[in-house]
Amino acid sequence: MTNKKDTGVTRLEDEMVEDVFAMSDAEIEAELREESVDIDAFDKEMDDLFASALAEGGQRRLQDARKAVDLHHERQKRKEQQKSQDELRAQIAAIVAGNPDLTMAARNFEQEHDGDLLGVLEDLQELTGDDWDDDE
């Protein structure tokens, strides 16, 4: 079972809407009186419906804007994380280049350790005695 409307029904609805739009105000009023509809109540109901549709459209646009802002923030966050990852790689490379006496495992930084670059940097600082974060 699908949630899609029958295309025949949709076309019929579209044609009915077009017919109403093509009518003059006097023709609409005459049809409403013919059906014994309270014109003032109908007018208020249509105004409320229109205001509700506008508000719903505004809410949808607001939600879309919020999603766009969230996406932008996420991209900025990733850029900042990438920048800090690049800075960590540069610090690690400087330590490795400045310490040729490190073991092969410590110097061989060809495999990426993106998940733990900070840990790798701390390990290298500890190995080389360059604990730059200490205030001593």
Average pLDDT (53-62) is: 88
Residue 3 lies in a domain: no
How many domains is the chain built from? 1
Residue 4 lies in a domain: no
pLDDT at 1 over 50: no
d(CA 72, CA 68): 6
| CA distance from start to end of the chain | 72
Q: Which residue has the higher pLDDT, 101 or 11?
A: 11
Residues 6+ apart with CB under 8 A from 133: 125
Query: What is the residue range of 28's domain?
Result: 11-128
Contact yes or no for 127/106 (Cβ under 8 A): yes
pLDDT at 133 over 80: no
pLDDT at 130 over 50: yes
Residue 135 lies in a domain: no
Q: Provide the pLDDT for residue 114.
A: 57
Residue 133 lies in a domain: no
Contact yes or no for 102/128 (Cβ under 8 A): yes
Residue 33 lies in a domain: yes
Q: Provide the pLDDT for residue 97.
A: 82
Average pLDDT (48-66) is: 89
